[in-house]
Each structure stands twice: as C-alpha cells, then as structure tokens.
Amino acid sequence: MKRFQIWTDFTAAPSANEQMTIIHIVKDRTARIPTPSVYRGEPLFQGPDAPAYDNLMACVKCGLCLSVCPTYATDAVEIQSPRGRVQLMLAVEQGQIPLADPVVEHLYHCLDCRACETVCPSEVRVGEQVLLMRGLAEGERPRHWLARLILEQLMTHPERLELAAWPLRLYQWLGIQWLVRKSGVLRLLPKALQSMERLLPTLPRTPLRRALPEVTPAVGARSYRVGFFLGCVMSLVFAKTSARTVRVLAENGCEVVLPKAQKCCGAPHAGEGDIATLKHLARHNVDLFAGYELDYIVADCAACSAQTKEYAQLLDDDPAYAERARAFAAKVRDVTEFLAEIPLREPAAEVRRKVTYHEACHLCHVQGITQEPRRVLGVIPGVELAEMREASWCCGSAGIYNLTHVERADQILDRKLDNIASTGADTVATANPGCLLQLMAGVRERGMAVDVVHPVDLLAESYGADRA
Ligand code: SF4
Ligand code: SF4
C-alpha cells in the first residue's frame, strides 16, 4: 500500500513511461491505456487459481468489447472498460502496480456479466480473469461486512439461511415493511440495507427445500431421472416458481430427485473472489449428487446452472475430484436448455400475455443459451413475444453488486427498464432469481404495470400445473 502511495504521487513517480501510464489509468479519467506488452518477464501470479496470463496477453486492444460493457457505458472511462481491466491486470501481473486499492476497488466495479467475452475476437475471458484476480486480492482488502455475513456465515449453511429469513417474514407479516416503505424511514439506513429492503419480495411461508419431497414421480411413464439443483434464492424466495419447475419436469416424464443436503452452488462466492469456499461447496455438491443415479442435473437458476457447469474446470487440478467433477458438470442443464432439448409435452391452455425476454448474463454470456428460452416461450399458446432492445444487457443485479454498488446498479437498471417499457409488454420473463428480484423492484418503483416471471411460470400456467 505504501509503495502505491508513492507511485500515485506524480512528483515521486518512477521514470518508466509504462508505469506512469498505469498510474494515469487509475488516477486520471482521460488517460490512455498502457502498453504492457513490452514486458518480457514472468507473470507475478501463477498456478490454477491465478488469472491466465496468456489469455490476458491475447488482448489486441481492438475495443470491440467497449460497446457491450455496462460499466463503460455508465462511466465512459477506459478503466471501467474490459480493455482497461485487462491492461490493469497485466500491470499487476508485471509488478508495475501492487494488487491493492484502488486497483482492487476497480476490479470490483466489474459486474462479471461476461458480455465482453461474447464479442471478443481474441477470446479474452475478462470476467473470469477479474474473478481470479479478486481471489488473489483477498486479504489485501477486507470484504464488505454484509458480503462477509452472507457469503461466509449464511450461504454455506442452508439451515442458517432459512433461519435468517424468519425475521424478514415477521417484518412482512406484521406490516412493518409496509410502514417502513410508506414512512420514508428507509432513507436513514445505510445504502446497502436500503437496497436489500427494496429488493425484498413477499417471502413464502416455507422454503421449498423443506416443502418438496425428496422424490417427485414422473406423470405417466418415466423417461428420465433428474436431480434438481435448488438454488438458495429459489428455495427461499421463489419457492412457487421452483415448485412449478418440478411439476413441469414431472409432466415431461421426469422423476425429480431433490438431494436435501445440497448447498449453495458457490456463484456468490466466485463473484466475491472467495475461491476456497467455492471449492468447498463444489466438492460437497459433487459428492452428494454422485450418490444418486441421475441422467441429468437440472437447475432453474441461471447462476446455479452456470456455476455448477464450471465445477469441472474449478476442480480440474484436484486428483481426488477432477473426474467426478467432470461427470457432474456433464449432466448439468439449465431448465430452459433441458426443456428445449427433450420432446416437450405440448402446452394446451392459452396464456394471453405480451412477453418480452430479458437474458440473464449467466445464461446467455456464460452458457451461450439464448434461443432455448425463447423456444420454450414460443410454444405456449397465447404468448406474444416482443423482443426488447439490448436483451442481453445486464440488469445491474450481478450477484450482490446491487447491494455493494447501489448507484451504479441503479443506473444500469434504469436502462433495462427503459428497454422493457418500449416493448409495451405486460410481462417480462427471465431465468435467474437475481434478475427477477432486480426487475421486480425496478418495475414496482417506477409504477410499471409489468409482471416479472420465470419462463417456467408461464409454461406451468399453460400446463395447468399451477397448484403451488
Ligand atoms: S474485445 Fe477482446 S481483444 Fe478487443 S479490446 Fe476487448 S478484450 Fe481486448
Ligand atoms: S464482465 Fe461485464 S462489466 Fe466486466 S468488463 Fe466484461 S462487460 Fe464489463
């Protein structure tokens, strides 16, 4: 840290032009990007949990990624762009600047939406490298207290998470939420708490993990035995939706198995650079699901399906788990992907809605799933699909980004809401709980007459399987 303070003092800056340019990039909003490719040495960080240096070096600075990066769109400065982040990480790898604030702080401004990865001609995996660099920065920078509580104490223990939801239920049932929202007292709270409150929808009485039987039989002949990966937020908040997912799967010949001891997929931990906990959770889930004879593992949370597919890569260097993690990941399907893959039972009842589809980043950019959810929506009689502009542009939710970077997340959400409004749709469908929460809060605060649902909600309605 001390070293960095000396470096950011321009009167005492080192003479090398390259170091000066790196300092400009952090300090000066108009600075040009540095040229670290002249560096010939070894990268500072190596090993399986370090950013892939070769991948960073593949950046040709073409700038194609700038047009799709939400943080670049809000700030219009190089340091908030994928290209700027690559150069910043290279400068760290080459020992030109230390991995400390404000460099780390800048890395946390990235949404990890991976939109840049979809368009990059050099296949630079900017979001992935940013996450790994955050992991290395752990210890250099204390984690936000709220992030620590959620990630380390609650999300690693489903029972604690369920227990922690009780005060929130009472807060809603006793009418305190209504009072708090009406009175404006919220404005007196810290921003992270304000944001948490406004995102809070009405919670179900019982988490689905407790309410659902361990095995739900197929309706009619069994074609598949499917393990259901029930996300934490889906179980606690969107229990009705996930119950519908199970019914839709059962209607399509699936015997659905819910291993009750499953834990969080680790996506929130990956976002905050907590790689050790992420690996711990991955090993637990791989072990657990291996105990069941399953054809597929299906998740109706895009972040869960994306994260669990990455278990193979995550545990690749662990001889005890590499093969089992690969076998696990090969079975994982997002529910929209799975339903588009199998011969789908034709939905019968009309669902008269004009629907626009918001693509969750973890579905479109991380898993490359874009057409499948639209195909599922397209077979529902009565549904009129209206494409929004920038459907694959992040909504600002991004894990817990909307709690830790409230203002920036709000700016990104505003852009999404404008695009939804311009379609004239009465319903927006999206396949990720973080997006559902963010969009629900957004449409409510703007007073838009728009329902926010998961594609499976509409399919279940058409099947007449809506008996939650
Ligand atoms: S699109 Fe890829 S190669 Fe081009 S500037 Fe962005 S990260 Fe670098
Ligand atoms: S992951 Fe998203 S926010 Fe981060 S650099 Fe890429 S496009 Fe920008």
Residue 114 belongs to what domain range? Answer: 2-137
Query: Which residue has better confidence, 428 or 7?
Result: 428
Q: Quick check: is 85 in a domain?
A: yes
Q: Do residues 193 and 215 both lie within one domain?
A: no
Verify whether ligand 1 is closer than 6 Å to residue 37 (CB atom).
no
**285 lies in a domain?**
yes
- Among the three residues 294, 318, 340, which one is the final residue of a domain in this structure? 340
Same domain, yes or no: 173 and 298: no
Residues 188, 266, single domain; the answer is: no
User: Taking 50 as the threshold, does the pLDDT of residue 42 lie above it?
Assistant: yes
> Which of 128-142, 303-317, 434-448 shows the lowest mean pLDDT across its residues?
128-142
User: Which residues are CB-contacts of 23 (< 8 A; sequence separation ≥ 6)?
Assistant: 7, 8, 10, 13, 97
Indicate whether 300 and 260 sit together in one domain: yes
Q: Find the 119 Cα to ligand 1 centroid distance in Å.
A: 8
Classify residue 435: in a domain, yes or no: yes
Q: What mean pLDDT, rounded, does the chain reach?
A: 87
Amino acid at 101: D
Same domain for 451 and 379? yes
Residue 70 CA to ligand 1 center (angstroms) comes to 15
- Same domain for 366 and 457, yes or no, is yes
Q: What percent of the chain has pLDDT over 70?
A: 90
* DSSP H or E stretch at residue 130: helix 126-137
Same domain? 301 vs 365? no
Q: Partners of 229 in the beta sheet?
A: 299
- Rounded mean pLDDT of 249-268? 95
Q: Using pLDDT thresholds of 50, 70 and 90, give the confidence band for residue 38.
A: low
Distance from residue 272's CA to the centre of ligand 1 (Å): 23
Residue whose CB lies within 8 A of the most ligand 2 atoms, among 75, 116, 362, for a mutation test: 116
Residue 86 alpha carbon, nearest atom of ligand 1: 7
Distance 16 CA to ligand 2 centre (A): 29
- Ligand 1 atom closest to the Cα of residue 119 is 1
Query: Which ligand sits closest to the CA of 114?
Result: 2
Nearest CA to ligand 2 atom 7: 69
Say yes or no: CB of residue 199 within 6 Å of ligand 1.
no
Of the residues 137, 162, 186, the one at which a domain ends: 137
Confidence of residue 13 (pLDDT cuts 50, 70, 90): very low
pLDDT on residue 410: 93
Q: How confident is the model at residue 18 (pLDDT cuts 50, 70, 90)?
A: very low
Cα gap 32→79, rounded to integer Å: 9
The two structure tokens encoding residue 41? 């040495």
**Residue 18 included in any domain:** yes
Residue 104 pLDDT: 87
Residue 178 has pLDDT above 80, yes or no: no
63-77, 159-173, 265-279: range with highest mean pLDDT: 63-77
Is residue 384 a contact partner of residue 398, using CB atoms and an 8 Å limit? no
pLDDT score, position 24: 53
Cα 67 to Cα 79: distance, rounded to the nearest angstrom: 14
Domain count, the chain: 4
Q: Which of these ranges, 10-24, 193-207, 399-413, has the smallest mean pLDDT?
A: 10-24
Q: Is residue 468 part of a domain?
A: no
* Domain match, 195 and 249 both: no
At 403, list the tokens: 């709690």
Among 306, 340, 374, identify where a domain stops: 340
For the CA of 62, the nearest atom of ligand 1? 4
Measure 118 CA to ligand 1 centroid, in angstroms. Answer: 10
The CA 401 to ligand 2 mean position distance, Å, reads 12
More confident residue, 34 or 248: 248
- Closest CA relative to residue 398, chosen from 370, 439, 457, 427: 439
Answer yes or no: do 332 and 222 share one domain: yes
Residue 122 falls inside a structural domain: yes
Residue 290 is assigned to a structural domain of this protein: yes
Q: What is the CATH number of the domain that holds 268?
A: 1.20.1050
Kindly report, residue by residue over 53-105, the tens digit of the pLDDT: 999 999 999 999 999 999 999 998 899 999 999 999 999 999 888 888 888 88
Strand partners, 215: 257
Instruction: In whole angstroms, give the CA distance from residue 248 to residue 230.
Output: 15
Mean pLDDT for 348-361 is: 96
- Ligand 1 atom, smallest distance to 60 CA: 3
Cis check: omega of the bond before 102, within 30 degrees of 0: yes
Candidates 81, 87, 116, 118: which one to mutate for ligand 1, based on the most atoms within 8 Å of Cβ? Answer: 116
Residue 116 counted as domain residue = yes
User: From the CA of 130, how far away is ligand 1's center (Å)?
Assistant: 14
Residue 71 alpha carbon, nearest atom of ligand 2: 3
Query: 283 and 357 in one domain?
Result: no
Provide the pLDDT confidence category of residue 140 given band limits of 50, 70 and 90.
low
pLDDT tens for each residue of 404-448? 888 899 999 999 999 999 999 999 999 999 999 999 999 999 999
pLDDT of res. 40: 66
> What is the pLDDT, as a whole number, of residue 138?
76
299 and 314 together in one domain? yes
Kindly tell me if the per-residue pLDDT of 31 is higher than 60.
no
Name all residues whose Cβ lies below 6 A of ligand 2.
68-71, 82, 85, 110-116, 126-127
